[in-house]
Chains A and B, each alone.
Chain A
């Protein structure tokens, strides 16, 4: 039952022409590119394997997961191959870019509720599929929600996704520290009992707030502070003055995801039936509502990069990613000890 019409993408760098960069990570850059023999625009993630010291196995699993998923709301890889010491992962090109980039360029205060409902519903379908198949995404956030020009929504970046079925054992929980602090569930931070699918549901709730405000809660604080606030404060919600524009059902949805006890959070499948999603519309609505009038992705990305570079110049210490990461690591050790003692 292979689809005979499914195109075979060539596995040779010579068959692709790289254009401008449209995304950037620690060891990878994403380019818009042309697949010459098929005359099709694609996105290619170029990952420098020389910078990934010992984690070839993790990379293999990520690429295999991306290859073996088949869901309209997940970004799959079309093929992958090495070119010198780089790994090229060819993916469908999502011309709208990520929701985070769209917000930064045009909606700094966040989206309207029908847009949020539509986006989140599409993401939830992807999460329910992943969870049903034993995967935890581990990095749900607006930056990983990609939109195409027709409004199609795909959840991307399995950089840190893990498979619960990997080794034939159903490992209920994982014990690795991954994800971005602002979106991270308390049980992931504590690393005491491991965590499961429910960690994605927390991140999903944080993402809902991010789409509503234009940024994640606590995003202006350094990671250390974020960890502390997540663990010690009441869960964030939609209860400020500015949130009065949002409906009761939206507030309830956020409240039900952002419960500190993972057992009390609903599964992604159950969440799909939440009445908030009655507002979700067909995805072509997104094309009209948020993509109209945006400049091309490459230009937007360049502008944002320039802005960030300027900020970086102003306040270098705060934006030193590497340093923050190591601070986070040190700090989780402290938390671990702290939690053991109490």
Chain B
């Protein structure tokens, strides 16, 4: 009977509390004597949808800030997020999507000008582990992945994921056969490596060796076209970011890296070639090129110059033409170095 009299008298905090109770009972292993189980699941899905409409508003009404704050505060006062994440596989598709959107929205809600979601996650970092390995589960990957991407908007959370053991798994997730999941993992990976500049720089400095060894062998030399294409684009974004300049100098001083980039320059794919050029130019522009790099560039000089001679973008691109002219000039002027 309770259901009949709801909504009017229920505050947003009531909705959260009821959701939590229903989650607790859903989280328990199924009790065969519980005849109301299905009813309770339906009630749970309705509650999640109601939280969503408080946070997002409806086609008729904009969300009310006070209601959002109240809901957020009650949500993080107890372990609702943990319950929601662990019960997610038991929900139907629509409720999973609603829950994902609720979690996404909560990451941005401020209570007394604090992002309390961030505080909660800092005390519950293990939840991030569950979300990351969610990519292993085809049915849950897109939901957990999208929650994860919202959570790493908080710098401390992104730092935790970067430094966790799970970071290595992204190199495999990006190449999962399901395109939608692989692309989602790639989007999260990119977010982790570009969003919080100082954290990223620190991570790359500390983890340079294994990270770029894996990046080269698993991503840039992957047999998968889309993996190579996304990886070379992201590499350019990382190396060209000013906050990563130390990492960039280190990367473009390695002859092994140069070889990989020269192979990418020879790809038949125009988009890969183009992105590879944006990284390759850094090797050439480096004012302190190690002698082995100069050696390789000199040995391949005529091939490179021929390649660049018919290297064109579809649309006119002044910046690209200027970069290319500079690279050609530098390579043409190189002298073999004696050491």
What is the bound-complex CA distance between A209 and B117, given in angstroms? 49
- A150 beta carbon closer than 8 Å to chain B: no
Closest chain B residue to A67, Cβ basis: B180
- A1 beta carbon closer than 8 Å to chain B: yes
* Stretch in A162-170, A220-228, A289-297 touching the partner: A162-170
Chain A 74-94 residues near chain B, CB threshold 8 A: 77, 79-82, 84-85, 87
12 intermolecular pairs with C-beta atoms under 8 Å apart: A2-B89, A11-B177, A11-B178, A56-B183, A70-B94, A82-B224, A82-B225, A134-B101, A168-B104, A168-B150, A169-B105, A170-B57
What is the bound-complex CA distance between A70 and B92, given in angstroms? 11
- A53 beta carbon closer than 8 Å to chain B: yes
What is the bound-complex CA distance between A82 and B224, given in angstroms? 8
Closest chain B residue to A169, Cβ basis: B108
Besides the contacts A59-B183, A81-B178, what 15 more A-B pairs have beta carbons closer than 8 Å? A12-B177, A49-B226, A60-B180, A60-B183, A64-B142, A64-B183, A64-B184, A67-B180, A68-B142, A80-B179, A85-B269, A165-B56, A165-B101, A168-B107, A169-B108
Closest chain B residue to A2, Cβ basis: B139
B-side contacts of A57, CB under 8 Å: 187
- A197 beta carbon closer than 8 Å to chain B: yes
What is the bound-complex CA distance between A131 and B59, given in angstroms? 9
Contact B178 A60 (CB under 8 A): no
Q: Which of A12, A64, A84, A167 has the most chain B CB atoms inside 10 A of its CB?
A: A64
- B270 beta carbon closer than 8 Å to chain A: yes
- A191 beta carbon closer than 8 Å to chain B: no
What is the bound-complex CA distance between A267 and B58, given in angstroms? 12
Chain B 172-229 residues near chain A, CB threshold 8 A: 177-180, 183-184, 187, 224-226, 229
B-side contacts of A280, CB under 8 Å: none
Closest chain B residue to A10, Cβ basis: B177
* B residues contacting the other copy or chain, number (CB 8 A): 36
Contact A80 B180 (CB under 8 A): yes
What is the bound-complex CA distance between A86 and B107, given in angstroms? 36
- A133 beta carbon closer than 8 Å to chain B: yes
Contact A63 B56 (CB under 8 A): no
Q: How far is the CB of A90 from chain B (nearest CB, A)?
A: 10
- B90 beta carbon closer than 8 Å to chain A: yes
Closest chain B residue to A63, Cβ basis: B180
Q: How far is the CB of B29 from chain A (nearest CB, A)?
A: 16
- Select one of A53, A56, A64, A168 contacting B101, CB under 8 A: A168
A-side contacts of B92, CB under 8 Å: 1
- A308 beta carbon closer than 8 Å to chain B: no
What is the bound-complex CA distance between A81 and B227, given in angstroms? 12
A1/B90 contact (C-beta < 8 A), A50-B271, A165-B101, A168-B101 known: yes
Closest chain B residue to A6, Cβ basis: B139
What is the bound-complex CA distance between A169 and B63, given in angstroms? 11
A49/B101 contact (C-beta < 8 A), A64-B184, A165-B56, A170-B63 known: no
Interface string of A158-182 (1 = CB under 8 A from B): 0000000101111000000000000
- Select one of A49, A56, A80 contacting B178, CB under 8 A: A80
Interface string of B32-48 (1 = CB under 8 A from A): 00000000010000000
- B82 beta carbon closer than 8 Å to chain A: no
- B307 beta carbon closer than 8 Å to chain A: no
- Specify the main secondary structure of chain B where it touches its partner: helix
Q: Which of B89, B187, B226 has the most chain A CB atoms inside 10 A of its CB?
A: B226
Closest chain B residue to A86, Cβ basis: B225
- B230 beta carbon closer than 8 Å to chain A: yes
B-side contacts of A70, CB under 8 Å: 93-94
A-side contacts of B150, CB under 8 Å: 168
Interface string of B289-322 (1 = CB under 8 A from A): 0000000000000000000000000100000000
- Select one of A2, A53, A67, A84 contacting B271, CB under 8 A: A53
- B97 beta carbon closer than 8 Å to chain A: yes
Q: How far is the CB of B331 from chain A (nearest CB, A)?
A: 27
A168/B142 contact (C-beta < 8 A), A50-B271, A64-B180, A82-B179 known: no
What is the bound-complex CA distance between A12 and B179, given in angstroms? 11
A-side contacts of B127, CB under 8 Å: none
B-side contacts of A53, CB under 8 Å: 271, 314
- Select one of B94, B142, B225 contacting A49, CB under 8 A: B225
What is the bound-complex CA distance between A153 and B255, given in angstroms? 58
A56/B269 contact (C-beta < 8 A), A11-B177, A81-B178, A168-B101 known: no
- B91 beta carbon closer than 8 Å to chain A: yes
What is the bound-complex CA distance between A48 and B125, given in angstroms? 40
What is the bound-complex CA distance between A80 and B184, given in angstroms? 13
A-side contacts of B93, CB under 8 Å: 68, 70
What is the bound-complex CA distance between A167 and B107, given in angstroms? 11
- Select one of B57, B105, B184, B230 contacting A168, CB under 8 A: B105
A-side contacts of B224, CB under 8 Å: 82
Contact B104 A60 (CB under 8 A): no
What is the bound-complex CA distance between A168 and B97, given in angstroms? 12
Q: How far is the CB of A327 from chain B (nearest CB, A)?
A: 17
Interface string of B56-77 (1 = CB under 8 A from A): 1101000100000000000000
What is the bound-complex CA distance between A50 and B142, given in angstroms? 25
What is the bound-complex CA distance between A80 and B57, given in angstroms? 33
Nearest first, the 9 closest Cβ-Cβ pairs linking A and B are A168-B104, A60-B183, A11-B177, A80-B179, A170-B56, A1-B92, A85-B225, A82-B226, A63-B180
